[in-house]
Structure 1
């Protein structure tokens, strides 16, 4: 029991931490070490409670490796950075090892397929939870699974994946918190998709500790979506924390869709100064703000840091970084 309490303490942010965190777009496999260090440093100095990192499961279990081989090197590095910067990690797991994929897609898209055997993917998630118990305490099952760009399976496929992962994680590391995949569609369409997930496998409505959605768009439209999702979950017997695992606003005026915030970097900052406390007051227990630029279109300027994290690059703090820091301190 005492060891479990110590492990739980290692996973948690300080009790007085603000409900604001960093969506870092840090890939454990592929972001270089200098950029990883810089992202952790900037997120920690901003006052973020958590840092969200991407774990591509197809790189943990490489396609042509010998049976049972795992490549944990990138995540080992992230776990070390988490300890040094005292910044807890939300690990978002996505990607199917190609040798486990259920659909016949071109090689580059096969990682988006659901696994033929969800139990095998779940076992890999459980191995990860066990290896990093006491160092990584929150695991998110896939990113935007309701979006075809991210997951080529349907709601029933995700339901089986979620339940298999939940079982393995809780068996191997009972204290690890399982986070539902963040929904891209935060409106009625997303809830309809989630209802299909819940209906597909009886255990699915119980197979997570934290619910998640992604919120972008004009500020006044966002806050009502928090109580709407909370009410939906309560009606299905779940009263769990609700996290916004992606939130951001571009600094390029060409992509600024809120007419009250449309004048460039200053408007990105004023947008976050408005939306962060509003989302927290609406009931979001954590709001993860995009840390750095990159991703195409509006995402190319959505970070509170200018810079993409590519090798040899650097970051510059925008006014929005300071707005985030001010929100943490308020």
Structure 2
């Protein structure tokens, strides 16, 4: 994800008043397209109405630990309950992100850091996965942990103290829960290739759906970094690492991809998003794409397919048309 954690928390609270989610339905039978999702943080009902209008079948939302449990054992279920109810009413499926320690649960009081106690982290995961069993069935444990913006620990610490314990806790709470991860940032400086290879080698058997993020200036560059061929001085493509770790047979979701309209223009944003979705169909190995994002944030403008006031950009109509043709 492209924003700092502080920005992400502010945006999540900004979208808090009326929230929505869903899980576990066959979207295509309900007039929604299950192969495309969209990031929307903590959406209001009006946001979900736009998503349904575009016939997008999935949302990726933020259930941030320090927002949901700001004090020990004091949960803000009203917020999450509204999200779930509103999305269910619109038959939209949910991928939910769990992560980021409250200050009381973080080492040194830093929400970017490791949990101070693995058992507290596991209890949080168990509690929320159990509460929404059968309603939210797809879970991500942390976002972009290879980026110092979101995680200050090491690769080993993430695997041993966050990822594997989180998977164990989620499966204890709901054996049918699906773990989607590791949601790495495709940044050379953040050693995405090293992180992906090591996580898949050590924990790949426990991941139900492999996920990744990739932002580039043009759709062809996104495709090249995911599928290859990349120049010899670049890290290997994502697909090559999946092959080398014997994980190519697992489902793969691209959970963040997008283009900024304030950088390339609104028409180019539409063109790039639709072109990438068309390319992805031809590639044939990425099962689901989550666009980043629904609504422009005042703190990080440009990625939204609608403006901050919810007026649609050309990209909204382009994606809607792309989906409509596939549901006819």
Deviations 1:159-181 (A, max 9, x none): 12111111111121111111113
Deviations 1:203-248 (A, max 9, x none): x222311111112222111113334323322322322111111111
Equivalent residue number for residue 267 of structure 1: 268
SS of corresponding position for 1:306:
coil
1:118-157 matches, cutoff 5 A: 118-157=118-157
Equivalent residue number for residue 223 of structure 1: 223
Query: Taking structure 1 as the reference length, what is the TM-score of the superposition?
Result: 0.80
In the alignment, structure 1 residue 286 sits paired with structure 2 residue 288:
yes
Any gaps of 5 or more consecutive residues in structure 2?
1-21, 228-236
Asked if 1 retains the 8 angstrom alpha-carbon contact of 2:179 and 2:207, the reply is yes
CA distance 1:117–1:196, change in 2 (3 Å): farther
Equivalent residue number for residue 60 of structure 1: 68
1:24-63 matches, cutoff 5 A: 24-26=40-42, 36-63=44-71
CA distance 1:197–1:328, change in 2 (3 Å): same
CA distance 1:80–1:18, change in 2 (3 Å): closer
RMSD: 2.2
Query: Taking structure 2 as the reference length, what is the TM-score of the superposition?
Result: 0.81
SS of corresponding position for 2:255:
strand
Q: Distance in 1 between matches of 2:113 and 2:266?
A: 38
Per the TM alignment, residue 329 of structure 1 is displaced from its structure 2 partner at its CA by: 2.1
> Which of 238, 243, 248 is the matching residue for 1:234?
243
Per the TM alignment, residue 97 of structure 1 is displaced from its structure 2 partner at its CA by: 2.2
In the alignment, structure 1 residue 248 sits paired with structure 2 residue 249:
no
Equivalent residue number for residue 259 of structure 1: none
Q: Distance in 2 between matches of 1:96 and 1:222?
A: 31
1:1-330 matches, cutoff 5 A: 10-14=24-28, 17-26=33-42, 36-63=44-71, 65=72, 68-102=73-107, 104=108, 110-160=110-160, 161-185=162-186, 189-198=191-200, 202=202, 204-217=203-216, 218-227=218-227, 228-238=237-247, 239-252=249-262, 255-256=263-264, 264-282=265-283, 283-289=285-291, 290-294=293-297, 296=299, 299-307=300-308, 314-330=309-325
Per the TM alignment, residue 9 of structure 1 is displaced from its structure 2 partner at its CA by: 8.2
Q: Distance in 2 between matches of 1:301 and 1:117?
A: 38
Q: Distance in 1 between matches of 2:280 and 2:60?
A: 18
SS of corresponding position for 2:261:
coil
Q: Distance in 1 between matches of 2:124 and 2:321?
A: 39
SS of corresponding position for 1:10:
coil
Q: Distance in 1 between matches of 2:154 and 2:298?
A: 25
Equivalent residue number for residue 231 of structure 2: none
Q: Distance in 2 between matches of 1:295 and 1:242?
A: 31
Per the TM alignment, residue 21 of structure 1 is displaced from its structure 2 partner at its CA by: 0.9
